[in-house]
Structures are given as C-alpha cells and as structure tokens.
Amino acid sequence: MTFKLVTDSTADLQETWAKDNDVTVLGLTIRLEGVTYETVGDRRLTSETLLTAMKNGGQPTTSQINVGTFETYFRQEVQAGNDILYMAFSSVLSGTYQSAMMAREMVLEEYPEACIEIVDTLAAAGGEGFLVMLAAEKRDQGLPLDQVVAEMKAISPRLYSHFLVDDLYHLMRGGRLSKGSAIVGSLVNVKPLLWIDSQGNLAPLNKVRGRKKGIREMIEKSVQNLDYATVVVAHANDPEAAQKMEVALLDKASVDRVIQLPLGPVISAHVGPGTLAVFSVGKTPR
C-alpha cells in the first residue's frame, strides 16, 4: 500500500514538481506591511516580491502552520483510507513540527488505527526539499512507509546545509542569530558562512573575507565526504551566482547532478536578498 507524502512551503519545492510527484505542500504564512500572505497556491507571495520589499525596508514576519490546518488535512486523508508521511521543517527553527504532532494526536484519538508518520527533518529550504525528493523516489520504488521513514531518519543527520548570507541583520531581527554574531558579520567585506548544525540550529561556521572566497569555501565544505552525487543549490534572487555555483560543483569529480531550488519566501524572509546555499548528503553525520 502506498502513502500520501506531505511537506510544507519551507521545503522550497516547485509547485509543478509537487503536483507531478503527488506531494502535498502546506503553507506557512508571511505578514508584510500589515498584510498576511499565503505561500502556496495561485495567490501566494513570491520571493521576488518579498525580496524587493525587503530591499526597500520591509520587515516581514512568518507564522507557522497551525494545528487546525494539519488536523483538517490529516483527517481527510485518514477518512480516505490513506497512510501519511509528513516531512517537517526543522523543529528548532519553527513550531510547525509541534503543530503537526498535536494534530496527529487529535486525529489518532478519533481514528486509532490510522497511520500518520512525522519526520523532523532538522532541515530547511532546499535541504528539506532534497529529503522530500528522496522520500518520493523511495515511495515510487515501492518501499513501504515504515522503511521510507527509517531511511529518511538515517539520511537526515547526514544532510549538510551551508548558507552564505549577505546581511545578518535579517536573521538577527527574526531571532535566528544572536546580535553578537550579526555585529561580527557586519564588518566590512566579511561574509559569514552558516550551517544547520546537528541539533537543527542555524549557526555560524566561519567568517570569510569576500563573497567569491565565501562561495568557494561553501562549495568545498559541501562536497567533502559526499555520499550522494546529487547536490542542491539555492539562491535568494541571484540566479547568475547560482548558475556559476552549479558549474563549479559539476567540475567536482564527486558531483554528477545539481538541482536548483530557489529560496522560497519563508526562508527568504529570514535570510534576506543575496543569500546563496548548498545542500548535500555526506557519509557521516554533521
């Protein structure tokens, strides 16, 4: 028996890919200049619109998916006789995972025989999206739900997420980084390299002088000890830099394929314009 695969809009998956691969995407919301926007659907807030507003001084805030949204989705799938796997945004970075867990318990009280699995990816953006793609691939190969869950929990700790951020102010404003780290990162021409650590936190990894050097170091760290020959590249409204990174990555003997998943509006709201990222799966836990 197959199962329904669901994730959230922080995974930055293209809606056409999600539709073609039978993956449901539930959306967080963004409040910008007094208006609350959705991040999925035809009327969603795009990253381009958001980043332009941020360049002009806009200060967006994001909100997790609420318990009711998860409860409604879980219940309708359970009533249709479907098992469910939800691949969740890092529980350290959002309360979305906790909302899903609460909704799961509520639905299981009513339908105790239902199967609702939730995996905390401890990831975000293209890293989370990469894991969803792998889960969809394994589902389509015919693997049962419990085996897919086990494999995702084994791969997730080996997912490496590296970010090169132009301006740490946005992360500080959203509480994702300390003021001290943001001040250090504001030094002239110093580009902080960040990563998602073993606990799922976004943390400083190194300080590099100059964007070009930062990109080179991010690429080198991303391809060390690779277990998968596929790597994901993301950007916040800088497709030219992302394309150059793709070329540089494909020059590495260990990389056969690069997938570009541009940063969606939720993650862009926290990292700001000009951010670049690389996601890869290593042989050992981060």
Domains of the chain by residue range: 3-156, 158-281
Average pLDDT, the chain: 92
Name every residue whose Cβ is closer than 8 Å to that of residue 137 and which is 6 or more positions away in sequence.
Answer: none
What's the CA gap between 221 and 253, in Å, rounded? 14
CB-side neighbour CA atoms (13 Å) of 180 = 2
pLDDT at 65 over 60: yes
Q: What is the largest CA-CA distance in the chain?
A: 59
Which tokens belong to 260? 């570009």
Residue with tokens 């609350």: 36
Cα 88 vs. chain centroid, distance in angstroms?
Answer: 9
Backbone angles phi, psi at 138, to 5 degrees: -70, -40
- pLDDT band at 179; cut points 50, 70, 90: low
Mean pLDDT confidence for 150-178: 80
CB atoms within 10 A of CB 243: 14
Any idea which fold 158-281 has?
Hypothetical Protein Tm841; Chain: A;domain 3 (3.30.1180)
Answer with the residue of higher pLDDT: 170 or 67: 67
**Report field, pTM of the whole predicted structure over 0.85:** yes
What's the fold here for domain 3-156?
A: Rossmann fold (3.40.50)
Backbone angles phi, psi at 206, to 5 degrees: -165, 160
Q: Is residue 104 classed as helix, strand or coil in its secondary structure?
A: helix
Mean pLDDT over 157-185 rounds to 68
DSSP summary character for residue 13: -
pLDDT of residue 121: 97
Which range (62-71, 183-192, 229-238) has the least confidence? 183-192
